[in-house]
Structure 1
């Protein structure tokens, strides 16, 4: 077992063990004679707890502290009220509670022997999903303030100095780009200092393995994801032949310590972000399935709620529209058969009308010239056409050309004695300020009170923090990034408490906020502003490792020169939507799109809740294929894409997975135009699950930018 490790340091073999286990994995700690808590095992759940034994010669701390005897990167470093910068933690107690038939919570309480300073390591073990969620609660009972200089959510030990990291890089338009490489000796970090839009340059999710992984469903893999919408730091410290630590890897994940020293007052506590992780010997595919099962029930807002298909007006109108224009677009939504019409940017502000992105942001009153009868009129007209209505907001931001900017200059984040650093001609509001929190909550609340029929909101965020300074926080600016994120969560908690049924999309110039700290308040996210389906295949592939299909919004747009079928087939593999000019579409294209929407709605439970198996990777070939199968292994859907054709192309066989080998499956190609013949030459044939998972299917797409969708039904 690559992640199984144990320690022998002449302790009593009957020393107390603390086992945090799921059905298939276990993280085990032990308390030594000096009351130090150490990690002794992480790997497959063993039948006999006595099997978690100590075989290595090095102590591996459960939560390393700085300034004392541990000399590497610590999980926690503080300055005590008396100025002492050393910290040691001794074991006090544990508490184990069974929250329900599936979840067991463990709390391990530690204390500095010399100070009234406490650390509580919390764990929730989700048995069936094989997911562990952990976070740290830090308590200051000293007589003065304690400065938290760094405070990680998790500290994990892995044996050996050979570890491969899979990470997901990105930027605007190229989000979630997967890469795998050998971690170097020393310290490697994935981090963000952007303040907001914090995963713009890379997700706060990753995987580790001892070997480079070529088979999706083989190999021992660790997968982890930090649930935090602010600056983060994922540290990987590798040691080769270290005299104190041997050969090992330390993984330390949490809030980025950069400009984040947090003053913890006496009698106060601080809770770190949650870190979600899993261990499996079923490869990267099983990491994904574990995360998806957990997320649908625990990680996203109302994960089992049916998602609405939609038509967005953005590419049809941009900022140029009036209420008649929009009402006419409702007909397009009706023709496509989608559930909802989404009004994007440009509907607000009067003194400085939102006619472009240079003005009006922050002034969230309806533009009377564009929308004479207000939002309620649009909601009513949409209902008359039997569709729902949604609206775009960006409540955390402000244009200098706005009434909000003029009236509340103290609400802005901008450094004194520095020029304004505008990005997208806007600045960030100061969510550390309770008055600003009230204002941002009011943006949602006012819209919902004035137009209670609004069914959907797209919450956007289009710039990062630069030259940040909070007037509200005064001279102590160190924890600004942290308190901004806490303020955001305070607002979102209020929104969800009052409007639990409102469907919300998380957007940040695309996927720059895709992590489980924010997703606990949202049903779905906008994956990328880049909607070219060729690029989207890789983007959506990357996200799929940690986020289920029902969260990934995929829209059919005018981007790219591919066929409409190719665009529909790519969009259908996640949460389907449209951003097109329906009036410019031919009647045949409209009918074809409507049929695809009907197929999607029929198969939506399978796509949204089925087990995902990635079959042919676009990162390794010029093709891609993935499939979803239901829990009874009765129905499945397979997506196949040919990206491009080269002269010396070797086409991969499609080896299916997750089927019942004893069942027989009838295969049918869907999403075909009325006049088109199936591309899959074996359409209608019946094969055993065993055959499909051993021999597979011959590759059958031989032209660039072609696609196909197959359904499988057990007979």
Structure 2
């Protein structure tokens, strides 16, 4: 097949071009050239190959399992043929708009002279070895006409098969250039079919999955909420190739944008049936005016690829997050007793002092005082007033937070506190004094989300105020042991009195938030902090790098949480997931506690109202949990039975040396005779080791249906399995599997 490039392209030296066939995973979409420069980026198992053509344009030619011989990436382009790509840049490593591009761009600009075109050509590349396991490849591209360049970065965490990809955009034109779109990553795939698993939801309905085949055209995942950006849809997703991947089989990419504001993921099946994936900040209402020599750095898009199913891919991300992203990912965690669902806004000093004693009685590490502790002129007795006025409420706390911190110390526990520093109630002293600090249109009626508005974090003065809220708490109370950072509102009527260019607001807000968190972590690097946003409205690695954990959902019904936590676990490790035992559900206390143990255990109930056996069980459960929590927090997770397809859910955590496993089993169906009919096959064990299997966390007065001295080979447990005997009378069963030495 022959293909003639347009003369204007300046490629007449190529009289004939051999079109390229689909590679195992990528098509290069370029002309064949003798010994074209190929940039190879490899991890432990995978590789990305980019080809620099004679016209200096860079295209993705391979993404998949790495080749044994690095020199053979040169052979990929000549070996492939496919239908015509009229533009010649469908597989561009970073697709510009306005020149020869015919599809969705990764970058779109308005030049200083008003021209809307951009062309990006190769200048140079280099790879740095940052440490034994991490490398950074950078590729410099520039426009041959305008003084405009883009630097592409690929940070590879080799052992985890994880890549973080971002871009840095700058120019040296005489006047400002306007960025209309500015993606973090532009990937290109070829396959027979593509299957997208995405998520949707709302408050108390987080992480509802949908999976479907992608068809011709563009599928867009996005948010325009400004803050609490994940409320309807998170920036995390999966793409399977050839067919929908299963837990242990199939080719799959897991990806997530590290950004806490508006995001946009474009998935375009192009005219020749390849898939273009473009991920980055949502350019909606966010045209960004870039000054000469100013750099615009996009947030990282993190992804991992596996040819062994979704489970292997998720373990890659979980390991990476523990090692490199979340605060103290390989350290311990504290168990919390929170007062929110036991008191809501109705508390005082004596009531809290009693709850502090209950914290010690229960055996938890931290008492967390939630919303309602502040405001005097406008007391925070409900969610309609006081937010923004961060002085202790004198009626509720006459002796202040300091008294409670000392009481916690006297009871041998830590004291933690809730804040929502980004928001303000119109009924507050802060709003009265600084209406110019509030995001709102000057000539429009105010519209509230949970009776509140958002403070303008693009303003450095507001950033200083928000930092001061936390700094003052720590300065006055150096023994403060935990912070829950909430964010309940979205941005309506977006307008900033500080911003000269209103289209900068959505982006500068998030940058301002990160600036505050950077300052906070620089001064208080070790304090455990929970990332909360009315539930899971802000669960992304852009924010999580400042936190030890996140709150998946305000929905603490254990049955609902099984499904919610199941889906979150594909992208985030168990150590980061705060799971509390509450009175939301009428399920037995054992079921509620067992589900909460599948992550970071906590409690949010009235300890004094527990009956004797329930209290005894909770106290024993905390001790039991302390015995195996290290495996849950730092081990490898294997999903054994999906709650979406079975009467029960089964999830296993395995210590990295394969010496210990914890298996959680939950009944999720109330149909007649529902339960575990067959043994459940375990995963990841050493087939040559012997293992003792026993049931743990039994309710007082009950006996296990599992033989407590049963020893099996790893081979047996992998191939045959163990029946946990889950049924209506045993709705939750935790098995401990220990190597017999």
Q: TM-score range by the shorter chain?
A: over 0.9
The match for 1:467 is 493
- Structure 1 equivalent of residue 154 of structure 2: 123
**Pick aligned residue for 1:82 from 93, 97, 113:** 113
Evaluate the alpha carbon distance shift between residue 115 and residue 377 of structure 1 in structure 2; reply closer, same or farther with a 3 A threshold.
same
- Corresponding position: 1:615 with 2:640: yes
Aligned to 1:558: 583
> Do residues 405 (structure 1) and 426 (structure 2) align?
no
Which residue matches 2:412?
386
Residues 39-188 of structure 1: matches in 2 within 5 Å?
Answer: 39-52=60-73, 53-54=76-77, 55-57=80-82, 59=88, 60-160=91-191, 162-188=193-219
Contact 2:248 2:309 in 1 (8 A): yes
Equivalent positions of 1:112-511 (< 5 A) are 112-160=143-191, 162-213=193-244, 215-239=246-270, 242=271, 246-474=272-500, 476-511=501-536
For 2:23 and 2:393, the matched residues in 1 are separated by 61
- Secondary structure of the 2:664 match is strand
Partners of 1:2 and 1:336 lie apart in 2 by 59
Of residues 26, 31, 48 in structure 2, which corresponds to 1:5?
Answer: 26
- The reply on whether 1:32 has 2:71 as its aligned counterpart is no
Q: Would the aligned equivalents of 1:644 and 1:705 in 2 still touch at CA under 8 Å?
A: no
In 2: Cα distance, 1:684 partner to 1:430 partner: 61
1:140-186 deviations in Å (ceiling 9; x for gaps): 21111000000000000011361001112221101112221111221
Q: How far 1:315 moved relative to its partner?
A: 1.3
Shift of 1:335: 1.4
Superposition deviation, residue 691 in structure 1: 1.2
Residue aligned with 2:174, SS = coil
Is the CA contact 2:177–2:289 (under 8 Å) kept in the aligned structure 1?
yes
Distance (Å, rounded) in 1 between the aligned partners of 2:174 and 2:62: 37
User: How far did residue 407 of structure 1 move?
Assistant: 0.2
Which of 14, 18, 23 does residue 35 from structure 2 map onto?
14
In structure 1, the residue corresponding to 2:354 is in which secondary structure?
Answer: helix
Matched, 1:708 2:733: yes
C-alpha distance in structure 1 between counterparts of 2:528 and 2:354, whole Å: 24
Rounded Cα–Cα distance in structure 1 between residues aligned with 2:399 and 2:192: 66
Cα gap change, 1:237 to 1:698, in 2 (>3 Å): same
Post-superposition offset of 1:374: 1.0
Unaligned runs of 5+ in 2: 1-21
Structure-1 separation of matches of 2:185 and 2:378: 47
CA distance in 1, matches of 2:544, 2:123: 35
Q: Deviations over 1:661-683 (max 9, x none)?
A: 1111100100102311103x343
Aligned to 2:654: 629
Structure 2 Cα separation of the partners of residues 426 and 264 of structure 1: 32
Q: What is the Cα deviation at residue 72 of structure 1?
A: 0.6
1:397–1:256 distance in 2 versus 1, CA, 3 Å:
same
CA distance in 1, matches of 2:34, 2:318: 39
Which of 519, 531, 535 in structure 1 is aligned with 2:544?
519
Mapped contact 2:229–2:537 kept (Cα < 8 A):
yes
Aligned residues of 2:198 and 2:237 also touching (Cα < 8 A): yes
Measure how far apart 1:4 and its partner are. Answer: 2.1
In 1, distance between residues paired with 2:421 and 2:629? Answer: 31
Q: Is the 8 A contact 1:159 1:249 kept in 2?
A: yes
Distance 1:277 1:301 in 2: 20
| Structure 1 residue ranges (4+ consecutive) displaced by more than 6 angstroms after TM superposition | none
Q: Which runs of 5+ in 1 are unaligned?
A: none
Structure-2 separation of matches of 1:435 and 1:86: 38
Contact 1:562-1:705 at 8 Å conserved across structures: no
Q: What SS does the aligned partner of 1:527 have?
A: coil
CA distance change for structure 1 residues 18 and 456 in 2, over 3 Å: closer, same or farther?
same
Alpha-carbon distance, 1:705 to partner:
7.7
- Note the C-alpha offset of 1:8: 6.5
The CA deviation at 1:702 is 1.9
Contact 2:222 2:265 in 1 (8 A): yes
Tell me if structure 1 keeps the 8 A contact 2:345–2:372.
yes
Which shifted more, 6-15 or 428-437?
6-15
Quickly say closer, same or farther: Cα 1:2–1:711, change in 2 above 3 A. farther
Pick closer, same or farther for the CA change 1:197–1:8 going to 2, 3 Å.
closer
The answer to whether the 8 Å contact 1:643/1:705 transfers is no
Q: Tell me the alpha carbon deviations over residues 271-325 of structure 1, each in whole angstroms, 9 at most, x when there is no partner.
A: 0010001111111001110001100111212212211001001111111111121
What SS does structure 2 have at the residue aligned with 1:455?
Answer: strand
Could you say if the C-alpha distance between residues 714 and 153 of structure 1 is closer, same or farther in structure 2, counting changes exceeding 3 Å? same
TM-score (norm 1): 0.97
**3-state SS of the aligned residue for 1:478?**
helix
Match of 1:693 among 718, 727, 732: 718
Contact 2:521 2:546 in 1 (8 A): yes
Bigger shift: residues 226-235 or 42-51: 42-51
Q: How many residues align?
A: 708
Report if aligned partners of 1:400, 1:427 keep a CA contact under 8 Å in 2: yes
TM-score with structure 2 setting the length:
0.94
| Cα shift at 1:125 | 0.6
Q: Deviations over 1:187-207 (max 9, x none)?
A: 101100000111111221111
Change (3 A) 1:118 1:652: farther
User: Shift of residue 689 of structure 1?
Assistant: 1.1
CA–CA separation in structure 2 for the residues paired with 1:415 and 1:324: 43
Deviates more, 1:178-187 or 1:495-504: 178-187
Q: Say whether 1:672 aligns with 2:698.
A: yes
